[in-house]
A and B are shown apart, each in its own frame.
Chain A
Amino acid sequence: MKITTEAGERHVLAVTVDNEAGILAKITGLFSARGYNIESLTVADISADHALSRITIVTSGPPAVIDQIIAQLDRLVPVHSVTDLADGGAHVEREIALVKVAGSGDKRIEALRMADVFRAKVVDTTLSSFIFEITGTSDKVDRFIALMRECGLVEVGRTGVVAIARGAEAV
């Protein structure tokens, strides 16, 4: 007997929650308990009174599973709202990566040249290394990191995706 899984599509969910201990565990636990994917997850306090956090989750699944994820998140007591950003039309997504490259000679020059092409900023340098800061979609960050692998990449830190819908409305 083979165990098969259904292919899915990528969705970005914006979840507003009470900024209280244990909420993140509750949400990630829901995903692991029900077998949903988390491709990326970011969380930060977003309100002036520190009462609310926004969690951005990139997940994937068939439409029925995505619908179930939203319903399951929505019924958690500390969850205020769940928005599927793909549903509301256009949205923007950004991710930041810090990319450390070490080396000398041509590779060092090539790394700097490509960073310029990608509009990555140099945020730290030594005689033998750079740290680049790159902001963009996950795709763009992926491509930059792939190129840096050829130029002495030693370390990467990524934030994961944050996203927000275009236009004047809030979620």
Chain B
Amino acid sequence: MTEMSGADMVVQALVDLGVDTVFGYPGGAVLPIYDALFKHPTIKHILVRHEQAATHAAEGYARSTGKPGVVLVTSGPGATNAVTGITDALLDSIPMVVLTGQVPTTLIGTDAFQECDTVGITRHCTKHNYLVMDPDRLGPILHEAFYIATHGRPGPVVIDIPKNVQVATGTYSIPNRIDHKSYRPQVDPDAEAIAAAIAMIAAAERPIFYTGGGVINAGPDASAALRQLVALTGAPVTSTLMGLGAFPADDDQWLGMLGMHGTYEANMAMNRADLIIAVGARFDDRVTGRLDAFSPDSKKIHIDIDRSSINKIVPVDLAVVGDAGRALDALIAAWADKGHKARDLGEWWRRIDGWRATRCLDFPEKKEDGAEIMPQRAVKALFDATRGMDPIITTEVGQHQMWAAQHFHFDSPNRWLTSGGLGTMGYGFPAAVGAQIAHPDRLVICIAGEASLQMNIQEMGTVSQYRLPVKIFILNNQWMGMVRQWQELTYESRYSNSYSDSLPDFVKLADAYGWTGLRIDTLGELADGIQTMLGTPGPVIVDCRVAQLANCFPMIPSGAAHTDMILQPNDIVGTMDDEAKALV
């Protein structure tokens, strides 16, 4: 119990909570906190160039470490610029605490300079938010905010702090134990549900594990438990975009990602399965395709920490509410307890091998040195060149993101950082900054599209300032490729505003920021170009020119079932009806 200013309390609480890094941007309404930070060298403040980038960097930090990301921004535009990243963190369940300055309590509601209703604006894009009107409440609220951000289903929490509350003095107190009066997420699964689940798994003839970001959020032990359970049962595994890395991609039981741009074998296996075991995944529309044709003959077990995810989109036969890791541990224990042995799933695997034989990720390409580079080839080359380096890969959003998901393979969690739920162009580069800050000695590569990258390209300055060795690998096809692909499939190739006109010279841009820039134009230059990037210390931007009109396949078209995948461009017939067009 010590008397201190509100700003000092904020910094003291961050220290007490073990925060080592804050991503932020100063401004009038947070000057007292910035002054307190100045006196506290143990907390590293990373000065971004735009508040949106601070939130994505915090997400990159969080996703690559498992620790909450912390953001500090000013009132008004500082807070509104942060909203996209806050919403991104909500959709992808990323633990994050955002501190926003606010005009003094005496001016709230007067349309004061740089005033906005931050708690109002962020009410529905946060897991929880606070407006702190009394400095004595700062200690308890900060501690509670970190608890809420990291417990149960993780998410972003905003704390709005008026300037006079930062300046006023009060008593700093730390709650002995966070025992929230209403927020008590269930982390331990019910024993009966586990017993029922294990009986269903043991009896299944065509089971499949469908895993998601919840396994990553549950920590590395959950990924280890997933591997163990999958090995025990002998069942195949597929994963959502957010769950990549929880199960090793070189394992025989791995079917690849499922969903709209997932593999044929994963989607067919989901469709034909007699049991789906969903772990920390939420039956997103990008995963299910047409709902009335989604896995029609299966029983479904849904393990999720968020009760509201269960039965939200797909009705399930058995709900298991709890932390993915604890549920997987309980399933492993129950499997051993009951003395179950893996069934002979030979017939199921033979069918899966039949689907695998379509080699759905193959793509047509020319092999000569002067040929244009297929974007898939560029990702594969990058993957091959970085094997053994354990890189952290971030992506922007679009075709390049899907190609990266299909062709870059992960063996461990927390290496794959991408915006899945909100699909935020501009996420990948600042997320790479956050990941590199957290892991200064690791290889961090942002696989980008030339359009997405420009949404937060100002962060090149941040990278220069902190001498971060971030690598940006642009699959530059001079199109907003996914938009163009949909226009091709849905709007008879009327390419309305999807051409990336007036692109900067990325090599000169690199030079302007003190980076190394290089350009790769042909297949013959690809391997060497990647080696140059990897061998160059400091930040590098690679402008890799790829085939302009390549499309991302396989693809489940909008409104279609898992079984109606387009495998190759020549599978496309006819035009879409309005029902399909209306789907996102």
Contact = CB atoms under 8 A, between A and B. Distances in A.
Given A1-B578, A18-B181, A77-B127, 7 more contacts: A1-B579, A18-B182, A25-B120, A67-B311, A75-B308, A77-B148, A77-B183
B377 interface: no
From A71, A74, A75, name the one whose CB has the most chain B CB atoms within 10 angstroms. Answer: A75
Contact of B182 (A26, A29, A67, A79): A79
B131 A21 contact: yes
Interface string A90-118: 00000000000000000000000000000
A29 B582 CA distance: 25
B449 to A, nearest CB: 30
Nearest to A68: B312
A77 B182 contact: yes
Interface of A: 1, 17-18, 21-22, 25-26, 29-30, 33, 64, 67-68, 71-72, 74-75, 77-80
A25 B119 CA distance: 11
A24 to B, nearest CB: 11
Nearest to B581: A1
Interface in B305-349: 306-308, 310-312, 315
A77 B148 CA distance: 8
Nearest to B577: A1
A18 B120 CA distance: 17
Contacts of A33: 124
A18 B128 CA distance: 13
B181 A26 contact: no
Most central of A30, A33, A77, A80 by chain B CB within 10 Å: A77
Contacts of A18: 181-182
A74 B308 contact: yes
A23 B378 CA distance: 50
A17 B128 CA distance: 14
5 contacts: A25-B120, A25-B123, A29-B123, A75-B308, A80-B181
A22 B132 CA distance: 13
A72 B308 contact: yes
A33 B306 CA distance: 18
Nearest to A64: B311
Nearest to B306: A75
A71 B308 contact: yes
A133 B117 CA distance: 39
A22 B131 CA distance: 10
Contacts of A30: 124
A77 B579 contact: no
B307 A68 contact: no
Interface residues of B, number: 23
B468 to A, nearest CB: 35
A79 B578 CA distance: 41
A22 B182 contact: no
Contact of B311 (A1, A29, A68): A68
Interface in B125-170: 127-128, 131, 148, 153
Contacts of B153: 75
Nearest to A81: B182
B308 A68 contact: yes
Contacts of A79: 182
Given A64-B315, A77-B183, A1 B582 contact: yes
A113 to B, nearest CB: 50
B450 to A, nearest CB: 34
A22 B308 contact: no
Nearest to A25: B123
Nearest to A79: B182
Contact of B123 (A17, A22, A72, A75): A22
A80 B89 CA distance: 25
Interface string B551-584: 0000000000000000000000000001100100
Given A1-B582, A25-B123, A74 B148 contact: no
A78 B126 CA distance: 13
B307 A74 contact: yes
B181 A29 contact: no
A18 B181 CA distance: 9
A64 to B, nearest CB: 6
A140 B310 CA distance: 38
A26 B582 CA distance: 29
A112 B98 CA distance: 60
A64 B283 CA distance: 15
Q: Which are the 7 A-B pairs with shortest beta-carbon distances?
A: A71-B308, A1-B578, A77-B128, A80-B182, A77-B183, A71-B307, A72-B308
Contacts of A77: 127-128, 148, 180, 182-183
A69 B123 CA distance: 18
A68 B578 CA distance: 28
A30 B123 CA distance: 10
A22 B582 CA distance: 35
A67 B319 CA distance: 13
B309 to A, nearest CB: 8
A18 B123 CA distance: 16
* B127, B131, B308: most-surrounded residue (chain A CB, <10 A): B308
Contacts of A1: 578-579, 582
Contacts of B131: 21-22
Interface in B291-313: 306-308, 310-312
Nearest to B144: A77
Given A18-B181, A26-B123, A29-B124, A75 B312 contact: no
A71 B153 CA distance: 14
A26 B153 CA distance: 18
A40 B158 CA distance: 30
